[in-house]
Chain A
Amino acid sequence: MPQLGDNFRTARLWDVRVWEYLVLLLAAGLVVFVAPMPKLGVIALIFGAAVAKTALVVRNYMHLKREHLLLYAIALIPVLLFVGLTLTLLPDIALRQ
């Protein structure tokens, strides 16, 4: 079964490659954090890196890119609820300040 063995080897190499991307994104976030930059830009960049890391883990390690739409829906609905409810309350805080 050389072809099957090759597939497993490719899967392992891809997992290591994803980890390398994750570490690179972590390092990039830390460089941005210590760099003399405007605070708002730093926050935008480090949270952008966090979203990219999440996408890498969820799609590759949790195999969501190969899963049925039903599992996407189960995972995404609470995320959208959380983001939506947080954004809904932001104007209240902005108006109070």
Chain B
Amino acid sequence: MDTLAASPSDLPVETDRIRAIPRGKVGVWWFLASEIMIFGGLIGCFILIRLAHGGWRAEADHVHWRIGALNTLVLLTSSLTMALACDAVKEGNQRALKIFLALTMFLGLTFLGIKAFEYSREIADGWTPATNLFFAFYFTLTGLHACHVLGGVVANTSLWVCAVRGRLWPLIQHRVELAGLYWHFVDVVWIFLFPLVYLS
């Protein structure tokens, strides 16, 4: 009976801990879980179909891994600047927040610019989504990821504009952390896409 008596008394403590998590953060994690299912489904299909077709090594030789590596470095660096923006928010340093958010936006746009250059080279060489199944997957996976990067840039830009105008500071503090979660998730997806599409 002691254990039965102890369990309900522990329950409110645990419930309080869960309630202490900000709702916005739980919401963003649920959203990220749904994103994992989207990318997970696509990546799973890519892995299985690739294995079933003998690895697509000849096709994979036509993607530019050096450009992909450069883009990986750009995205990893943007994750650092986003983390530093979150630190600046906690510190209450508005100037640092503006600088690091601007840097994150710039690096996100750089990633998209490099990706556009890469696509243009591949399409000029005759490698389009209609060429074969590998390039159909390549353009779908990297294109969907690029759309997510664009979404992150838009979110960061709106926060940066609010920070520059100096309005809604208490709201921004919380939202920068949530935008950071999304941005780091986009980085994590690329961390797996890069070896999967370019290196293997």
Measured CA separation A57–B181 after assembly (Å): 10
Main SS class of interface, B = helix
Interface residues on B, range: 35 or more
Residues of A within 8 A of B32 (CB): 74-75
Is B174 positioned at the interface, with any CB of A under 8 Å from its CB?
no
A19 to B80, Cβ gap below 8 A? yes
Measured CA separation A88–B157 after assembly (Å): 42
A68 to B17, Cβ gap below 8 A? yes
Residues of A within 8 A of B29 (CB): 71, 74-75
A47 to B181, Cβ gap below 8 A? no
Is B180 positioned at the interface, with any CB of A under 8 Å from its CB?
yes
Residues of B within 8 A of A26 (CB): 69, 72-73, 76
A71 to B21, Cβ gap below 8 A? yes
Is B161 positioned at the interface, with any CB of A under 8 Å from its CB?
no
- Total count of chain A residues near the partner, CB < 8 A: 44
The closest CB in chain A to the CB of B192 belongs to: A50
A70 to B80, Cβ gap below 8 A? no
Interface residues of chain B, those whose CB is within 8 Å of chain A, are 17-18, 20-21, 25-26, 29-30, 32-34, 36-37, 40-41, 43-44, 47-48, 51-52, 65, 69, 72-73, 76-77, 79-80, 82-84, 87, 90-91, 180-181, 184-185, 187-188, 191-192, 194-195, 199-200
- New contact pairs (9) apart from A68-B17, A82-B36, CB-CB < 8 Å: A18-B80, A18-B83, A33-B199, A54-B192, A57-B79, A61-B83, A61-B184, A75-B29, A82-B40
